Amino acid sequence: MRQSKLATKTLKETPKDADNISAALLIRAGFIDRIGSGIYSYLPLGWKILKKIEDIIREEMNAIGGQELLLPALHPREYWEATGRADLDAWYQVKSKQGKDFILGGTHEEIIAPVAKKMIFSYRDLPIYLYQIQTKFRDETRAKGGLLRGREFSMKDLYSFHVDQADLDSYYEKAKEAYFKVFNRCGIGNLTILTYSSGGPFSKFSHEFQTITESGEDTIYLCKKCNIAINKEIIDEQKTCPQCNGDDFEIKKAVEVGNIFKLGTKFSAPFEVNYLDEKGEKKDVIMGCYGMGPSRILGTIIEVHHDAKGMIWPEAIAPFQVHLLAVGESENVKNKAEELYKDLIAKNVEVLFDDRDESAGVKFADSDLLGIPYRVVVSEKTLKEDGVGLKKRSEGEEKIVKIEELINKLK
């Protein structure tokens, strides 16, 4: 992609109304645009990243048997009356002009349960794992968290359906592992902590995946011995580490990037999602649910991967792998850079080519702000050595590399 054609403009100044550092950098770099409090547009570069995160999530959900579907966002209110959750403060209530009441989907248990009922008849139809990546709407009183807390945000929600608790328990552990694979691939695995949180009638705990960062709204008690934590919300009831029983904690701020929950029969019972077991007896299906926020992950990545100059994207989700900069006015530089650009494309390298008529200073500053993993500079100076300047965004030093060796160096 030529930067001269890219629908992106960087800002010199940090926007005044940005909620946190990730929102400030993403807006300044032209990756997202703020439409209103807690409501953002994903501009081409931000959207590329969101899709890459979603595709990683898809791969890992498919790997544990997930089947993707898409549920609607507009929910007839009667589905919510069945579980008594219709009047929760978190939901947007919508009335059509004919007086029909809807709730804007802030979560989808009330929709997936009746859908699953049409697929499940016998024990032979179980287990089954259904997920979607959907926009969720929540009527947040305080939506001042950039992509970390919005009124409208992207969410992956998987729902599992089982014959019994043991089968749910075993799948729940698999899902935990799949979650960490996603966080590792997105570059936040080492800072993301399995955190015990309040359960409900069907299990003592639920589990959150909390990424440690100062901008986090949650407080977690991190066990200094085990790499797990307890959410502050339940520390009065659960005073010791559930793994080692110790009570030596470090208190940290964190962002919840995922949450998994054993639902038991909470939703299968009201919607009569049941099955006939091997003896022909009718039983309620046992459910689990597994949430994860792609847009929140996007913001979290930048909360933990940035420096004073800008963003630093992990390679797996960067919008481009290489930022090619033509620096200087000479025809020789322009031609060599053009040639290299075409060559990189032919070799299937994702490359953003800064072919704009801008000064070296502007180009270097924008490159640091955008945070593409590899910067490749073509200038009179590098061409004197038959080379290009190669620098990883995450490392300090630029090195001159021969043009013919560049592709190997990038791999």
List of residues contacting a copy of itself (CB under 8 A): 4-9, 30, 33, 35-36, 39-44, 46-47, 50, 65, 67-76, 79, 89, 92-98, 102, 104, 111, 114-115, 118-119, 121, 124, 128, 130, 135, 137, 139, 141, 151-152
- The residue among 114 and 270 lying less far from a copy of itself, judged by its C-beta, is 114
- The residue among 88 and 244 lying less far from a copy of itself, judged by its C-beta, is 88
Beta bridge partners of 402: 387
- The residue among 38 and 310 lying less far from a copy of itself, judged by its C-beta, is 38
Nearest approach, Cβ of 395 to a copy of itself (angstroms)? 30
Nearest approach, Cβ of 166 to a copy of itself (angstroms)? 20
What is the distance between the alpha carbons of residues 232 and 222, in angstroms, rounded to a whole number? 10
- The residue among 39 and 235 lying less far from a copy of itself, judged by its C-beta, is 39
DSSP 82: T
What is the distance between the alpha carbons of residues 121 and 123, in angstroms, rounded to a whole number? 7
- The residue among 68 and 404 lying less far from a copy of itself, judged by its C-beta, is 68
61 Cβ partners below 8 Å, 6+ apart?
Answer: 68, 129, 131, 156, 158, 178
Quickly count: other Cβ atoms within 10 Å of residue 4's Cβ.
11
What is the crossing angle of helices 294-304 and 44-63, to 10°? 110
- The residue among 348 and 408 lying less far from a copy of itself, judged by its C-beta, is 348
- One-letter amino acid at 314 equals P
Report helix, strand or coil for 364. Answer: helix
Nearest approach, Cβ of 32 to a copy of itself (angstroms)? 10
Nearest approach, Cβ of 190 to a copy of itself (angstroms)? 29
Report helix, strand or coil for 151. Answer: coil
Here the tokens at position 310 are: 């800008």
Nearest approach, Cβ of 3 to a copy of itself (angstroms)? 12
Nearest approach, Cβ of 335 to a copy of itself (angstroms)? 21
